[in-house]
Amino acid sequence: MGEFCPEISGVLMADTFFCTSITIEHLHFNFGAFKTSAQIMPNLPGIEEIAGDFGGDFFKPLLICDANTEYLAVKIRGNAAIPVCTLEAGESHKDWQAVETILRNARDAGLGRDGIFIGVGGGVIGDLAAFAASIYMRGCSLALVSTTLLGMVDASLGGKTGFDLFGVKNLAGTFFPARHVYMPMESLATLPLPEWKSGMAELIKTAILDSDNFLEDIASLIAVFPDGSFSGGFPPDFASRILAIGTDLSRCISRAVRFKGAIVEEDPLETGNRRVLLNLGHTFGHALEAAAGLGTISHGEAVAWGIARSCDLALALGVCPPQRAERIRALLAAYGYETASPHPLMNSGAPGAFIQALGSDKKKRGGNLSFIVPGEKSAQAVKTAADSAAAVPAASDSFMDTISQIIGI
Amino acid sequence: MGEFCPEISGVLMADTFFCTSITIEHLHFNFGAFKTSAQIMPNLPGIEEIAGDFGGDFFKPLLICDANTEYLAVKIRGNAAIPVCTLEAGESHKDWQAVETILRNARDAGLGRDGIFIGVGGGVIGDLAAFAASIYMRGCSLALVSTTLLGMVDASLGGKTGFDLFGVKNLAGTFFPARHVYMPMESLATLPLPEWKSGMAELIKTAILDSDNFLEDIASLIAVFPDGSFSGGFPPDFASRILAIGTDLSRCISRAVRFKGAIVEEDPLETGNRRVLLNLGHTFGHALEAAAGLGTISHGEAVAWGIARSCDLALALGVCPPQRAERIRALLAAYGYETASPHPLMNSGAPGAFIQALGSDKKKRGGNLSFIVPGEKSAQAVKTAADSAAAVPAASDSFMDTISQIIGI
């Protein structure tokens, strides 16, 4: 396994850990007209490995990263003469400007329609690189090296791309699955705590949809984190704590990837009623992100808060046993997520902005908003008119009144 | 037929002409995962007709037009309370700014993913409206009312969308076919001569690909135009001239639509070797457009010049009988197109820009440029390296030397 263990400087844990305890898992998915291969692997792929996966003689790639992941992109590139496009980091830079920068780099590097965009980073870089790939010369090829927990368990798989516009998250986007997704556990070694927090929320979301058994597995990881939650900083012994759960963590990631992949295979364009389940917590979460100002709160924290609100709504509608809703909320709270309402970021002006953001939700169909809420098992969609009397059976009051109560405004 | 004949003010020919001599032709195509219906029809569709075609109870549209076609959009809208987004007209405004304007109007109008963008105009409006529809909330619904000859015979069908970026035509775009395409002959009544010129070039292109018999049909239309060509202005009796060929013209349009539709059905994403044939004249033409400055020369005129260059290349490679190449060039010249090389717009600086633009062509694959040239029948692709010795069989010289000779620089 020596070739998989190059030296990394400044990492929080021994690279060899991943090499010895984690084996490569190679998964294949069919997302509509697209085929995606996903690899959960100990180390970063080298550029030759990526070139090999694409096959053929012609390989003209562009590496796309942000300031935080540039060192990973450079490591992937090795000595190859491949251009690297480095964007500003963070959700607040997930805009057209960033997309245009990628397209300009591709044009300057002379990439044709058979060029390959390789995004190296988390959810933001993945969404941007994939969107740019989907429109460059009407679509070139795409690989993603997913370097965050959020990217691995959610964003990198299934083809949702996009960027934020007019303060609306992912208002512009496409469905454009990557040909190859690499999930190198090595890159988690340097993941900051907020990123863990962001990814764990999507992992919890997936576990709610999958099974209570999966929820238990996630609960068992919690001892690793400081004070048993995300509320503290990076403790000095964090590396050894993570070390202790490496295999369990990669198994959870694999389980989430397989679960999401299966759902997206059934409903790649979210036109049916399967894929929409993956939006559990997201209608509330996106509205909170927008009301607080995009980039103010991490996606994962917003989703965790949104899941708590979905539990409230499920209880109000009587579709989820109180014990299950309570268990979910308790797990979120144990991980240190803010679960109370109104959220501290919803200052005096934010409730109005929150309601407005809800009305812009992409899941709106026929003028109706859709919320995914936990059910007896997994989750289910509830739909209703945003600004009229409730269309949800079992809702005892007008829907917006219910929502107002839930978000505490 | 009375309901199809509303009054139009200021048109060049009697609206009743179209009503009495042209019947609605309804064509259906399957473009990959998309279904498109195309209607060649005497008059503009009303908004109720469009709503009916989309079916269902929920109909939330946005009309998209430019300053030239706004009156048509308003006519389609009638008394319905539907927002109209009016863009600046012309290829020089086919940019991200225009796309963003459409998206902002859609957001402001509260459209969801089930909203419907209705583009009313020619190739530019069609490409912009379709691109915006393809990315709004990851894709909403799309109808196109194609009001120019170019739009009808080429741009509106088959899902190519896009806008210009960094001086490269359609550098950014998607494949996103419209659900419904309306081709109202009525809208041709007010079409200015340059637009006829632009559309006729694509019609000639399609006829070259289809059959010499189709070329004859197009040759027979020429008497309608001033001096037997496009070189003059709009003659006073133009309305009655067009009147005389109305039925023949709609038959040519129908033939072109059916031919293009069949090719796109075979190869919707231009990944095979069928759809690429529709680019006859376009590699040279796009490079001329870019070298002259996008918007300086109309797309059709550039394509006509590009077809003449493709004839030169076909002759240099010995793949087209000289009589056929001569016949094509003679038809182009008869219609008043510039067919000589170098093109008058290629000033001293343009040859370099021309070569650079060729190198940015979207059809580049594996570092090779592809040209479509007339063959014994129809046309064929010839590929070669842009900056190395010729890879084209039968090319007697290095390829760029051949190109240089052909474009006269």
Residues of B in contact with A355 (CB under 8 A): none
Chain B residues whose CB is inside 8 A of the A369 CB are none
For residue A48, indicate whether it is catalytic.
Answer: no
Rounded Cα distance between A15 and B221, Å, is 74
Query: What is the number of other CB atoms lying within 10 angstroms of the CB of residue B396?
Result: 11
d(CA B306, CA B372): 10
- Nearest-Cα distance to chain A for B114, in Å, is 6
Q: Where in chain A is the domain with CATH 3.40.50.1970?
A: 2-262
Task: Report yes or no: A299 and A393 within 8 Å, Cβ to Cβ.
Answer: no
| CB-based contact, B349 to chain A, within 8 Å | no
Q: Does residue A69 contact residue A41 with C-beta atoms inside 8 Å?
A: no
- Identify whether the C-beta of residue A68 lies closer than 8 Å to the C-beta of residue A124: no
Distance between CA atoms of residues B90 and B298, nearest Å = 9
Strand partners, A39: A26, A182
Note whether B58 contacts A137, CB cutoff 8 Å.
Answer: no
- How many residues are there in chain B? 409
The CATH 3.40.50.1970 domain(s) of chain B lie at: 2-261
Q: Which two tokens stand for residue B138?
A: 């990851």
| β-pair type (B61-66, B368-374) | unpaired
CB contacts of A162 in chain B (<8 Å) are: 135, 138
DSSP state of A306: H
* Chain A environment of B279 (Cβ under 8 Å): none
Q: Go through chain A and tell me how many residues it has.
A: 409
Distance of alpha carbon B263 from alpha carbon B266, whole angstroms = 5
Structure tokens belonging to residue B359:
């190198």
Q: B400 vs chain A: nearest CA distance in angstroms?
A: 18
3-state secondary structure A26-92: EEEEEECCEEEEEEEECCCCCHHHHHHHHCCCCCCEEEEEECCCHHHHHHHHCCCCCCEEEECCCHH
Instruction: Write down the pLDDT at residue A229.
Output: 78
Does a cis peptide bond (omega within 30 degrees of 0) precede residue B351? no
d(CA B347, CA B365): 29
Q: Is B385 on the interface with A (CB under 8 A)?
A: no
Q: B134 vs A174: CB contact, 8 Å cut-off?
A: yes
Catalytic site residue from A75, A93, A275, A282: A282
Element (H, E) at B249: helix B238-266
Longest dimension (CA), chain A: 65
Bridge partners, B140 (sequence order): none
User: What single-letter amino acid sits at A242?
Assistant: I
Helices (H), A109-233: 123-135, 149-150, 193-210, 212-219
B127 → chain A, closest CA residue: A138
Euclidean distance between CA atoms B122 and B192, whole angstroms: 12
Across the strands, what pairs with A141? A116
CB B192 within 8 A of CB B198: no
Positions of B annotated as catalytic residues are: 138, 160, 202, 260, 270, 274, 279, 282, 286, 299
pLDDT of chain A, 409 residues: tens digit per residue: 333 333 332 333 434 444 456 778 999 999 999 999 999 998 999 999 999 999 977 899 999 999 999 999 999 999 999 999 999 999 899 999 999 999 999 999 999 999 999 999 999 999 999 999 999 999 999 999 999 999 999 999 999 999 999 988 899 999 999 999 999 988 887 788 888 889 999 999 999 999 999 999 999 888 777 777 777 677 777 767 776 777 889 999 999 999 999 999 999 999 888 999 999 999 999 999 988 888 888 889 999 999 999 999 999 989 999 999 999 999 999 999 999 988 888 865 566 788 778 877 776 667 677 899 999 999 999 876 543 333 333 333 466 677 777 777 6
C-alpha to C-alpha distance for A343 and B106, rounded to whole angstroms: 30
DSSP E strands, B173-321: 180-184
A282 counts as catalytic = yes
CATH architecture of A280-407: Up-down Bundle (1.20)
Backbone phi, then psi, for A162, in 5-degree steps? Answer: 160, 175
Can you say whether the dihedral through the CA atoms of A146, A148, A154, A155 is positive or negative?
Answer: negative
Those residues with Cβ within 8 angstroms of residue B102's Cβ, 6 or more apart along the chain or in another chain? B62, B64, B85, B87, B117, B128, B129, B132, B136
Q: Which of A97, A135, A164, A283 has the highest number of chain B CBs within 10 A, making it the mutation to test binding with B?
A: A135
Q: Which amino acid appears at position B7 of this protein?
A: E
Find the CB nearest B166 among A107, A170, A367. A107
Q: Write out the two tokens for B102.
A: 């459409």
CA distance B58 to chain A (A): 6
CATH no., domain A2-262: 3.40.50.1970
Residues of chain A neighbouring B135 (CB-CB closer than 8 A): 135, 162, 172-174
* Active site (annotated) includes residue A160: yes
Portions of chain A given CATH number 1.20.1090.10: 280-407
Interface check for A172 against chain B (CB to CB < 8 A): the answer is yes
Fold (CATH) for B2-261: Rossmann fold (3.40.50)
Residue A113 at interface with chain B, using a CB cutoff of 8 Å: yes
* B contacts of A113 (beta carbons < 8 Å): 362-365
The shortest C-alpha distance from B160 to chain A (Å) reads: 8
**Closest by alpha carbon to A385, among A367, A402, A371?**
A367
Active-site residue (options: A70, A202, A289, A301)? A202
Strand intervals (E) in A267-367: none
**Which mean pLDDT values do the consecutive 10-residue runs of chain B (409 residues) have?**
31 43 87 96 94 90 97 96 96 96 97 96 97 98 97 96 94 98 88 88 97 93 79 71 78 96 95 92 91 86 96 93 96 93 76 77 72 94 56 45 75
Nearest to B250 by CA among B71, B43, B75, B50: B43
H helices then E strands: how many in chain A? Answer: 14, 11
DSSP-based helix, strand, coil % in chain A, nearest 5? 50, 15, 35
CA distances from B76 to B56, B133, B141, B144 (A): 20, 19, 18, 12
What DSSP assignment string belongs to B227-244? GGSSSS---TTHHHHHHH
Using a CB-CB cut-off of 8 Å, the residues of chain A touching B114 are 364-366
Alpha helix ranges (H) inside B123-237 = 123-135, 149-150, 193-210, 212-219
**CB nearest to A103's CB, from B103, B135, B165:** B165
Separation CA A390–CA A79 (nearest Å): 61
Q: Tell me, what amino acid is at A297? A: I
Q: Which of B186, B202, B252 is nearest to B224 (CA)?
A: B252
Sheet (strand B116-121) strand order: B25-31, B34-41, B180-184, B141-146, B116-121, B61-66, B84-87
The residues near A12 (Cβ < 8 Å, ≥ 6 apart) are: A189, A190, A238, A239, A242
Query: Shortest CA distance to A288 belongs to which of A372, A384, A353?
Result: A353
